[in-house]
């Protein structure tokens, strides 16, 4: 059987002139290198975000533990001391809530930036 000179779309499949082929290969090599650099850059940014997020999560865990300890202390207090101690727990919970909100906002912002790229 004889080899066809027509491609899958029915177009005549003629060989590309050497000059065009070298130019095409050069362009593709440049594009691949550029895209590879962008991927490497995004990987670095992702790693940096991962490290920053890890630190923030550790801070959140610490704040959660502090609030939990305050709550445990509150449960042990008598009625008079409980009223005074309540403000300490309120502050700890407010601090934790604020930190969680910041982390959530930061994650959403990072996600939207990553999705845009």
Give the pLDDT band of residue 31 (cuts 50, 70, 90): very high
pLDDT at 29: 93
- Would the CA dihedral through 30, 34, 40, 44 be positive or negative? positive
Instruction: Please check the confidence at residue 41 and state whether its pLDDT lies above 60.
Output: yes
Instruction: Please check the confidence at residue 30 and state whether its pLDDT lies above 90.
Output: yes
Q: What one-character DSSP code corresponds to residue 6?
A: B
- Beta-carbon contacts of 1 under 8 Å, excluding residues fewer than 6 positions away, are none
Q: What is the pTM of this model?
A: 0.55
* Contact present, 92 and 67 (Cβ < 8 Å): yes
Q: Is residue 1 in some structural domain? A: no
Q: Is residue 7 in some structural domain? A: no
d(CA 21, CA 19): 5
Provide the domain count of the chain.
Answer: 1
Give the pLDDT band of residue 2 (cuts 50, 70, 90): very low
Q: Which domain holds residue 101?
A: 18-116
Q: Is residue 56 in some structural domain? A: yes
What are the structure tokens assigned to 109, written together?
């912002």
pLDDT at 46: 82
């Amino acid at each position: 059987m004889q080899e066809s000179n027509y491609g899958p779309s029915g177009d005549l499949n003629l060989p590309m002139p050497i000059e065009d082929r070298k130019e095409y290969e050069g362009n593709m090599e440049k594009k691949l290198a550029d895209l590879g650099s962008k991927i490497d850059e995004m990987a670095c940014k992702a790693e940096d975000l991962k490290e920053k997020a890890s630190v923030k999560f550790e801070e959140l865990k610490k704040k959660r533990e502090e609030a939990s300890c305050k709550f445990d202390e509150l449960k042990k207090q008598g009625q008079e001391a409980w009223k005074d101690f309540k403000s300490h727990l309120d502050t700890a919970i407010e601090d934790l809530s604020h930190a969680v909100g910041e982390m959530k906002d930061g994650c959403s912002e990072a996600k939207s930036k990553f999705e845009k790229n």
